[in-house]
Structure 1
Amino acid sequence: MKIRFSIYWKYVFASGFAAATLSCSNTKFLKEGQMLYAGGKVKIENDTISKKEKNELQSALEENLVPKPNSTILGLRPRLYFYNIAKEPKKDKGFNYWLKYKVGEKPVLLGDVDREFNRKIIENYSENKGYFNAKATYDTVSKNKKAKVIYTLKPGARYFISNVKFQQDSSLVNREIQSLTNKTLLKSGKPFDLDVIKDERERIDTGLKERGFYYFNPDNIIVQADSTVSKNHKVELNVKLKENTPDLATEQFSIDKVIVFPNYNIRDVKRGKYSVPMNADSLSKYAYNDIYVIDPQHKFKSKIFDRALYFKKGDLYNRSNHNLTLNRLISLGVFKFVKNEFIVSDSLKHQFDAYYLLTPRQIQSLRLEALGRTNSANYAGSELNLNWTHRNFFRGAEQFKAAVYGAFDFQMGGQENAKNLFRAGTNVQLSIPRIVAPFRFNSSSAFVPRTNITLGYEFQNRTQLYTLNNFTASFGYVWKENARKEHDLKVIDITLVSPAKVTDEFRKQATTPAARRVVEKQLIFGPTYSYTYTNTMLPKTNTVYYKGTLDLAGNITGLVTGANAKKDKQKNIFGVPFSQYAKMEHDFRFYHKFTEKSSLATRFIGGIAYPYGNSEFIPFSKQFFSGGSNSIRAFRARTLGPGSFDPRTIEKGFLLDQAGDIKLELNAEYRANIYKFLNVAAFVDAGNVWLINADEYRPGGKFSKEFLSEIAVGAGVGLRLDFSILILRLDLAMPLRVPYYEKGDRWAFDRINFGDSSWRKDNLVLNIAIGYPF
């Protein structure tokens, strides 16, 4: 292909000229004698340390230099430019104030740099990393009213640890410290590093906290360094208790009494209404096993605290049980504030009482929600929800939730004669903060396991086509191993779909078996299990999220009724055919953070649903769908697939919901913050759904070895308005590869024509949604 550079050279030249002008124009705003600070650089002169060590030291030192120069983008300083061109505002509001002090950035001048202070930082940091003879100097290089400071460091040889000694004595606390030395962070042969020494003190403190030394502090440990006892740049470390360590810090404490105030209110304390019964007689009437629950009004059952509290009378104090108890009390969901105090009750026996001061949340709440929404299938709608929550339903921190709702969706354009949808229903959920089962379930997690029971009903009316009654019920358990791992097991999960009315118009339009299955009676029941792992809450550069789901329907019932056998007659329960299938889905996400304001998010979804026994097909509600604001955004919701099936062949005005038994999807999205609440994104989506069995009414829908050629690809850009309480997302996408075009002609690059209004209407898809897509 011949490229005509003559068409673009003037644009390239203009862009380069504009960049150079913007870069240089900031200096013209400087006063006489002022110089713009262009940053600091550290040069290390040393031939005895490795290149890797030198680079690590240089990066760390440059990171510690202050102040930081003005921010740059591709070598330019646009924020500084906006500050310079904006007029000084008369008030702390208005456009000029916003442009100058919110968008703009005040110039960082050479006069703002304390070079002597930075020199001392460089020397001190180097000494803390084992370069005891470090010496630094600095020089300033200036040109065109810009100045850079060059710091030269001569670190000398690095000192290494020759020996580590933990000083011994006869005290109890010292014996415990000696028992912790096998996992010390201070190793012979390792470089001297003050940060590692601080971590070692924290490690010892953590270990002692697990052994009853509640009042111990890392500052009670001193690590002495002696570089005179050996040659060749070696240092000997001596770890010991400080001479002035308080006696209380060296004592090992155990629990005397555990006292719970489940109705604590700080306002009552200030008003003098709060009192603590200190003598045994006044406490005895509140006793429950080994704890005391001060609840005269009996708002809470005492046994919920017996399950949540990990301290019992006579237990040696340890930090793990301390934190575990607080976390479990919070995860009950009924307390707004959880406060813990330890008060010495017997200094001779080294005992204290553990007090738990719990402030309840509002026990009942009623909330009315009105929602508006739109989707990429050209539907808009509204929903009204009335929710009632009781957080202590049976006085055992059980959460009972009841909701009634009504919603409608109507077509705004696109498909002609598409039918509007009305939904109304109710659902209730009882969440019990323990495992209700015939077996014993013990959990040492910081999160309280829960038993969930749900019931629901929904009436669905698609105008002029059909009405459906949907009944749902489930019983199961949710428990978390820790903050990263969660299990959700529904022992039984039931869905019953029953048509109330099917119109002649629907029967006339529903000419395919797949369309008619939408209004067939369906009974789906069986266990479902999902496992979730995530570390996205951690401040790491790379984080992951994974959720795996397994759904088994009618498997045991199929064995009992004989539905698993190859027979022509379908088995029913109460006159309704029950579904049999096995479904598995995996959702894996990977996030990479480039900077605090930019990141890459990727996602892979793979799923398969296989019908067997009593079922030839997967129920419509349990199939996979593709397209829409949280999927392949260049295709409207549920219009993509299966396989290379062409949805344009469907009669206009009929439902376009396309489903499959197999799903593959891959997404990648670059995210960047432009200004506070304003974020932008660029994304690419790829994937499709396929059928397990061939369907003569949807040719090309079956999964085959040609599946890679049937992958749809879309790309686009988006805006995210992050208002903290919600994230409003607008994504504009276009198809790059269309699977139902002729094979060999599915890439759509040569069809892109932004100047054609007809092309824009058919190919640019705007998705409006709440929250991130993944």
Structure 2
Amino acid sequence: MYFWTLKTYYLKRLFAKISFILLTLLLFISCDAVKRVEDDERLLTDNTILLNGEKIKKSKIYNQLYQEPNARLLGFPLQLHFYNLARPDIDSILISKYLENEKKRKNLSGILSRKQLDRYIHSRKEFNEWIKRTGEAPVIIDEEETKKSVNRLTSWYWNNGWFNVETDYEIKPSGRKRAKVEYSVTTHQPYEIDSINKDIESVVIDSLYDAHQAKAKIKSGEQYRTLDFNAERDRLTQLFRDRGVYYFDQEYITFNADTINTDHKVNTTVIIKNRKVSEGDSTSRVPFKIHDISKVNIFTDYSYANRNQPLTDSANFEGYTLYSFEEMEYKPEALTDAVFIKPGTTFSDTDRRRTYNRLNSLRVFKYPNISYTPDPRDSTRTDLIANIFLTPQPKYSLGFDFDVSQSNIQKFGIGFGGSLLIRNVFRGAENLEISGRGSIGSSTDAAASSDKDRFFDISEIGADLKLTFPRIFFPFKTEKFIPKYMSPFTSMSIGVSTQHNIGLDKQNLSGILNYRWTPSRQLSNKLDLLNIQYVRNLNVGNYFNVYRNSYNDLNQTAQSPNVVTSPTYLDEDGDLIIPKGAENFIRDVYNDTGTTTGLNSTQRQSVINIRERKNRLTENNLIFASNYTYLWNTKENLYDEEFSRFRFKIETAGNALSALSKIISFDKNENGNYEVLGVAYSQYAKTEIDFIKHWDLGHDNIFALRTFGGIAIPYGNANSIPFARSFFAGGPNDNRAWQAYDLGPGSSGGRNEFNEANMKLALNLEYRYNLFSDLNSAFFIDVGNIWNVLDIVDDPASTFTSFSDLKDIAVGSGFGLRYDFNFFVLRFDIGFKTYDPARDEGSRWFKDYNFNHAVYNVGINYPF
């Protein structure tokens, strides 16, 4: 432990020195930002846009400009100065220094071979190029680019209804070889939509247009916007293709906007021509028609290699025809249930899209191919045959993972695991996942005395079994409120794990019956109808070895001069014997009997608090819960930098068992709580609300916000929340100025090794920006804490009783580095205690704001 503390101390000192050296170096090299700017050039220092004489700051307007100043960090063009470190004439410098300088060349020839010398010169060139690539070249004002920016500004305002907009620019020198550009925009009166007419040739299209005109994106009386016309084109295209017009394309839609002598009004005409058909060398136009699906063929094992092979198996089910090149491995109803294209219905593009999505979500097939061909049996040429080609994924898939970790209970740990995925287990597109995991580690505490001489003295092993069905299993049909286009799934899983010398050595058995469905791309729902967890503590006698802070407080009380403690509770050093001595001492104090006497009221309350926490953390848990999670996420892909995410979760536990207790005579324990299989079941209600918002500020600058609120209230058969369902604060994904489980509750100062509570509030703010290439950085502020409320804890410092307790919200701030490896981000954050509620009031701000008291966090990917 001393070695670890000493090593941490020197790491902090080293980091502080490196930071000082880097800052000094940056200040030194930043003396001349225009060192790579020629005498007849100007470095762009600022862009200003004046709208009708007033300066504006809207980023979407500034994004129209082709040239922007070099990126700045706190007003400092770091990447520009890094670029300036590179030598523009590196080739001539190296030739002169190493090849033309005879004396230098002779000296080097005695050390390096010619090949080694060439390699060294090449490495110098590569390093110089790396500096250029990593840095940012000076942005030189280009008047042609400026004129293009003016045209783009004109186009932007024109497309938003200001047809008479006037734009201009002026380049204003602002120092030696520096200048800024000032753009001026005069909008004049905007144009608005007046009349909306139509010129539609096909009767079918005309009828559909009239029937859905109320949902038009172009509305009379609104200001003209080109994006509204684009949205209307997309709406009409989707409308027609969803109503059977298979051959329709948005290129058939045009708009005529008349603004001649209209007094700033736009008279709009929607023009839709007939379908263009080519036959040989001639082209003609024919009216659009409504197309129906006459037949749906599903090829269950298609591949490019067997495309010309004969089909050997087939089946018919509810109008669908299924084919297979080998013996069919799927139940027909399993595949047809995932297909929204139905024989005898009208063609719909939405049905095709939903079919793609549903088949992909099964994780059984590769990306499917759906094509339509005219039915040769139909003389009207309106019937279509839908062909769905499915290529199966491999029956079995193996996966492995490995990681190295460090935490507050282990100074070094190795984790490993593996999984086996078996697809289409029962021929109904079901998936069975079998996984195992294990870890070994070296503890930070000699809690397990029997293994104290072993480096790897803690371990965990577990296994999970999960079976997923592509439908909702329920006693009654759920199709009316969870239709199959929502991609419903049912999962049944069981898991078991056991820990050795981690805390109290636990065995964990869990079982989950889960439903999930996705109404839209942004919205998803998850319901755990049953979420059962049984936790058994195997080594309760080890409690005071693990929770040393509690033991030290208890031992200090027992050794107080005013306290008389039985000598049989103490060892030869006068310390409480673990576990019997400590347990007997607590029993005497709680029952106010025995040979332990002399405690004052404060000491007695402290012992009672230790007893309550020990009982809660050593009791076995039976959690029989149900929960529902609502998730709204506008993030479309991994690289989407601007999005919102809202999550709401509610969970209740013990209600079903409570109802059964009124029918079945469950046993009661000494506290009057009902027990099932010898364990008092948990009963509580818990809710969580989590909101995340990212704003893209341009130039790889992101502002991110997260808010979280959660509370869990015990009732009925319980007076506390199980440890596994409690909240904690601190750590690399929470308040980074405190280590995980170190913050709170309230102003108590984190007296315990694992501090948790049943109420939590948190707010995180983070500004992210790019430093060089794939190296990013961030400044952050983390706010929040945990409290106990309406449970067994009555310590005033740990409980939340009124809004005045919000003064105990902790504030951490700091900065960090992040390196983007494309498939994951490696994160290093440094958090400083900015406002510490554990300190006395009046001395909470910035008292430990230094590197010696900082918390260093390493994480994978962004914290939120």
CA deviation vs aligned residue, 1:630-658 (integer Å, no higher than 9, x gap): 3333333223333444555x6xxxxx223
Decide whether the 8 Å contact of 1:344 with 1:351 is kept in 2: yes
Decide whether the 8 Å contact of 2:734 with 2:782 is kept in 1: no
Report sequence identity in percent: 26
Decide whether the 8 Å contact of 1:255 with 1:352 is kept in 2: yes
- Per the alignment, residue 232 of structure 1 pairs with 263
Q: CA deviation at 1:305?
A: 1.9
Q: Structure 1 regions of 5+ residues with no counterpart?
A: 1-14, 651-655, 755-759
Decide whether the 8 Å contact of 1:536 with 1:545 is kept in 2: no
Q: Relative to 1, partners in 2 of residues 1:84 and 1:735: Cα closer, same or farther, differing over 3 Å? A: closer
Among 603, 616, 619, which residue is 2:722 paired with? 619
Alignment of structure 1 residues 536-685 onto 2, 5 Å: 536-537=635-636, 543-553=644-654, 554-561=657-664, 569-595=672-698, 597-645=700-748, 647-648=750-751, 656-681=753-778, 682-685=780-783
1:335 counterpart SS class: coil
Q: Relative to 1, partners in 2 of residues 1:376 and 1:536: Cα closer, same or farther, differing over 3 Å? A: farther
Q: CA deviation at 1:95?
A: 2.0
Q: CA deviation at 1:440?
A: 0.6
Q: CA deviation at 1:316?
A: 0.8
CA deviation vs aligned residue, 1:361-399 (integer Å, no higher than 9, x gap): 233112222211123556431112121111222122212
Decide whether the 8 Å contact of 1:161 with 1:236 is kept in 2: yes
Decide whether the 8 Å contact of 2:365 with 2:390 is kept in 1: yes
Decide whether the 8 Å contact of 1:19 with 1:76 is kept in 2: no
Alignment of structure 1 residues 379-418 onto 2, 5 Å: 379-412=411-444
In 2, Cα distance between equivalents of 1:562 and 1:598: 63
Decide whether the 8 Å contact of 2:71 with 2:77 is kept in 1: yes
In 2, Cα distance between equivalents of 1:695 and 1:223: 70
Q: Relative to 1, partners in 2 of residues 1:729 and 1:322: Cα closer, same or farther, differing over 3 Å? A: same
Look up the equivalent residue of 1:525 and give its one-letter code. F
Alignment of structure 1 residues 227-626 onto 2, 5 Å: 227-228=259-260, 230-242=261-273, 245-246=276-277, 247=285, 250-269=288-307, 272-273=308-309, 285-295=314-324, 296-346=326-376, 348-376=380-408, 379-412=411-444, 421-442=458-479, 443-444=482-483, 446-462=485-501, 466-503=504-541, 505-506=578-579, 512-537=611-636, 543-553=644-654, 554-561=657-664, 569-595=672-698, 597-626=700-729
Decide whether the 8 Å contact of 1:334 with 1:392 is kept in 2: yes
Q: CA deviation at 1:432?
A: 1.0
Q: Relative to 1, partners in 2 of residues 1:717 and 1:555: Cα closer, same or farther, differing over 3 Å? A: farther
Q: CA deviation at 1:428?
A: 0.7
CA RMSD in angstroms comes to 3.9
In 1, Cα distance between equivalents of 2:703 and 2:388: 44
- Per the alignment, residue 812 of structure 2 pairs with 714
- Per the alignment, residue 4 of structure 1 pairs with none
Q: CA deviation at 1:400?
A: 0.9
In 1, Cα distance between equivalents of 2:845 and 2:368: 59
1:94 counterpart SS class: helix
Q: CA deviation at 1:304?
A: 1.8
- Per the alignment, residue 86 of structure 2 pairs with 86
Decide whether the 8 Å contact of 1:558 with 1:564 is kept in 2: no
CA deviation vs aligned residue, 1:445-481 (integer Å, no higher than 9, x gap): 6442111111111112227x75332211122312222
- What is the number of equivalent residue pairs in this alignment? 725
Decide whether the 8 Å contact of 2:787 with 2:799 is kept in 1: no
In 1, Cα distance between equivalents of 2:168 and 2:539: 87
Give the TM-score of the pair, scaled to structure 1: 0.82
In 2, Cα distance between equivalents of 1:479 and 1:676: 40
Look up the equivalent residue of 2:336 and give its one-letter code. D
Q: CA deviation at 1:166?
A: 1.1
> Is 1:723 aligned with 2:821?
yes
CA deviation vs aligned residue, 1:142-179 (integer Å, no higher than 9, x gap): 57444666666676654444322113556322222233
Look up the equivalent residue of 1:677 and give its one-letter code. D
> Is 1:773 aligned with 2:863?
yes
Alignment of structure 1 residues 182-201 onto 2, 5 Å: 182-201=214-233
Q: CA deviation at 1:109?
A: 4.5
In 1, Cα distance between equivalents of 2:294 and 2:226: 39
Look up the equivalent residue of 1:291 and give its one-letter code. Y
2:623 counterpart SS class: strand
- Per the alignment, residue 11 of structure 1 pairs with none
Look up the equivalent residue of 1:684 and give its one-letter code. D
Q: CA deviation at 1:497?
A: 2.4
2:390 counterpart SS class: strand
Look up the equivalent residue of 1:401 and give its one-letter code. E
- Per the alignment, residue 569 of structure 2 pairs with none
In 1, Cα distance between equivalents of 2:62 and 2:710: 48
Among 237, 243, 253, which residue is 1:205 paired with? 237
Decide whether the 8 Å contact of 2:403 with 2:416 is kept in 1: yes
Larger deviation, residues 443-452 vs 140-149: 140-149
Q: Relative to 1, partners in 2 of residues 1:628 and 1:37: Cα closer, same or farther, differing over 3 Å? A: closer
Look up the equivalent residue of 2:767 and give its one-letter code. Y
CA deviation vs aligned residue, 1:200-239 (integer Å, no higher than 9, x gap): 22222221112111221222122223344x5434442222
In 2, Cα distance between equivalents of 1:699 and 1:32: 70
Look up the equivalent residue of 2:687 and give its one-letter code. M
2:234 counterpart SS class: helix
Decide whether the 8 Å contact of 2:202 with 2:288 is kept in 1: no
In 2, Cα distance between equivalents of 1:128 and 1:658: 58
Give the TM-score of the pair, scaled to structure 2: 0.74
Q: CA deviation at 1:545?
A: 2.2
- Per the alignment, residue 96 of structure 2 pairs with none
- Per the alignment, residue 687 of structure 1 pairs with 785
Look up the equivalent residue of 1:749 and give its one-letter code. F
- Per the alignment, residue 117 of structure 2 pairs with none
Look up the equivalent residue of 1:669 and give its one-letter code. E
In 1, Cα distance between equivalents of 2:658 and 2:765: 37
Q: Relative to 1, partners in 2 of residues 1:39 and 1:771: Cα closer, same or farther, differing over 3 Å? A: closer
Decide whether the 8 Å contact of 1:264 with 1:359 is kept in 2: yes
In 2, Cα distance between equivalents of 1:472 and 1:298: 36
In 1, Cα distance between equivalents of 2:40 and 2:152: 27
Q: Relative to 1, partners in 2 of residues 1:373 and 1:196: Cα closer, same or farther, differing over 3 Å? A: same
In 1, Cα distance between equivalents of 2:718 and 2:146: 78
Q: Relative to 1, partners in 2 of residues 1:549 and 1:375: Cα closer, same or farther, differing over 3 Å? A: farther
1:207 counterpart SS class: helix
In 2, Cα distance between equivalents of 1:487 and 1:564: 37
Larger deviation, residues 26-35 vs 672-681: 26-35
Q: CA deviation at 1:711?
A: 3.1
Q: Structure 2 regions of 5+ residues with no counterpart?
A: 1-22, 92-121, 278-284, 543-577, 587-610
- Per the alignment, residue 7 of structure 1 pairs with none
CA deviation vs aligned residue, 1:91-137 (integer Å, no higher than 9, x gap): 6973211111232326434265373x556556655555555566666
Decide whether the 8 Å contact of 2:633 with 2:643 is kept in 1: no
In 1, Cα distance between equivalents of 2:164 and 2:144: 29
Decide whether the 8 Å contact of 1:36 with 1:110 is kept in 2: no
In 2, Cα distance between equivalents of 1:602 and 1:689: 22
Larger deviation, residues 445-454 vs 83-92: 83-92
1:560 counterpart SS class: coil
Q: Relative to 1, partners in 2 of residues 1:186 and 1:451: Cα closer, same or farther, differing over 3 Å? A: closer
In 2, Cα distance between equivalents of 1:621 and 1:557: 24
Decide whether the 8 Å contact of 1:583 with 1:608 is kept in 2: yes
Decide whether the 8 Å contact of 1:486 with 1:531 is kept in 2: yes
